[in-house]
Amino acid sequence: MHIVLLGNGIAGITAARFIRKWSDHDITVVSGETDHFFSRTALMYVYMGHMRFQDTQPYEAGFWEKNRIKLLNAWVESVDTAGKALVLADGSRLPYDKLVLATGSRSNKFGWPGQDLGRVQGLYHRQDLEGMEAASAGLQRAVVVGGGLIGIEMAEMFHSRGIPVTFLVREKSFWDIVLPPEESQMINRHIREQGIDLRLATELKEIIDDGTGNAGGVITNHGEQIDCQFVGLTVGVSPNIGFLKDSGIGTNRGILADAFLQTNIPDVYAAGDCVELRNPRPGRRPIEAVWYTGRMMGETVAYNICHSPQAYDPGIWFNSAKFFDIEYQVYGDVPVTYGNGKATLYWGGASCGKKSIRMVYDEASGSVLGFNLMGIRYRHEVCERWIAQQTPVEEVLQNLSLANFDPEFFPEFEAEVVAQYNRQTGKGIRLRTRRRSLTDALRFLKKLPA
């Protein structure tokens, strides 16, 4: 059987690796972006000079031949599902018995005048990195549009080379559709402290042609003109599915897939950023364009091809990022606003510098629901187990030291968090545990009552 995987990102390559682990099927991975799989999240560090591009490739060149995974560098024009073949850009056809679509995302464009000028782009593909590199020589100012994770990465990239950046954010506070107000305002302050020209509640209206077909400036919704030679469009991403038109494969915003990541066409699966689940699990979104869900989907697809069907289970939500030098971690359910039976404990703010800890818990049962961490690391396994076991918040607080990551090298704030809870509730709970290794912490947690 010949299995073709379209896309060599984390979802496609994970699927290929596990298919090989569990079978002797013929495997071909197709991608027009690069010859080899690379860490997409590391692109910014190549531009900033922290890594070479080859350092972003987790596997040596001989890995693919050794594991009998054929790599084909080619762009795909369409999918002929009736004939079970990919139609490549050069007109040739690649037959398949089973197909895995792992085509990732593309940067959003919303019809702005000038959006197709030169030196106007997003940041997702290897080609986007090359475009930024080519535009950087002599660049006097860049304008970055969009207040999310990709936008702040692009701003940091230009800032690392001393290129002035104006950052247009539509919302009243940075990423306030995801971050609670205190954390969002912390990032506002931090962005400005870096010397970035942050413009909140400001939208892009038009991109100006400099007379040569390249960007020469932007006009905002306030009527202001900002001169620049590069415009970064980082207003989110969408599933990369344009080539599936007329294929018969069901799509909406993304490729529609069931709980087993199968499409409506027999022998065609989907994995990663391009997937839109028909019936996502409670509390999860139909499209989740994050690294770890792509990896989990890739493994699930491989299992379903090689073994009996198994439903995709993303587990407890988590994500991590960096806002310049502030690390961010979220585990579980952390809404922007509270109510509906959810309470929050927040320690941090301006007096604590660039660090904060937020815990969300159920008001009725007291069970912990989520953690939001800025500038502080907590162990993923420990936080996830507390959430999964519906551990009472006071039990978590008494044992909060279990979650501390590398306490030998980083300050500890557990006592301050507990004190904040006591002030907030009028109670008098105390820390119970001391520093432990991760192994000891997990053993200890197994003994705690559910």
What residue segments make up the domains of the chain, in order of their start?
Answer: 2-106+238-306, 120-235, 318-447
For 290, which DSSP code? -
pLDDT at 408: 63
User: Tokens 């209206």 belong to which residue?
Assistant: 205
Cα–Cα dist 102/122, whole Å: 20
Amino acid identity at 117: L
Q: In what order do the strands lie in the sheet with 93-95?
A: 76-80, 85-88, 93-95
Cα–Cα dist 242/286, whole Å: 19
- Element (DSSP H or E) covering residue 182: helix 181-193
Phi, psi angles (nearest 5°) of residue 251 = -140, 155
User: Tokens 């379903």 belong to which residue?
Assistant: 304
Give the CA-trace dihedral at 43, 327, 150, 245, to 10 degrees. 90
Q: Which of 113, 146, 133 lies closest to 215, judged by CA?
A: 113
The answer to whether 328 touches 373, Cβ cutoff 8 Å, is yes
pLDDT at 404: 87
pLDDT at 431: 87
* 3.50.50.60, 3.40.640.10, 3.40.50.720, 3.40.225.10: CATH of 120-235: 3.50.50.60
The answer to whether 209 touches 216, Cβ cutoff 8 Å, is yes
**159: which 2 tokens?**
């800032």
Cα–Cα dist 278/262, whole Å: 10
**pLDDT tens for residues 388-423?**
999 999 999 999 989 988 766 677 889 999 999 999
Query: Which residues of the chain have a pLDDT value below 70?
Result: 349-352, 407-409, 433-450
Cα–Cα dist 382/258, whole Å: 31
**14: which 2 tokens?**
């994970």
The answer to whether 46 touches 5, Cβ cutoff 8 Å, is no
Residues whose CB is less than 8 angstroms from the CB of residue 78 and which lie 6 or more positions away in sequence, other chains included = 86, 87, 243, 244, 245, 246, 247
Integer angstrom CA distances of residue 315 from 59, 369, 373, 384: 27, 13, 19, 9
Cα–Cα dist 286/252, whole Å: 11
* 3.30.1340.30, 2.40.30.30, 3.40.1190.20, 3.50.50.60: CATH of 2-106+238-306: 3.50.50.60
pLDDT at 442: 65
pLDDT at 388: 96
Domain 318-447 in the same topology as domain 2-106+238-306: no
Q: Which of 438, 154, 443, 102 lies closest to 301, judged by CA?
A: 102
Q: Does domain 318-447 have CATH number 3.30.300.130?
A: no
Amino acid identity at 249: I
Q: Which residues pair with 168 in a beta bridge?
A: 145, 199
Cα–Cα dist 62/309, whole Å: 32
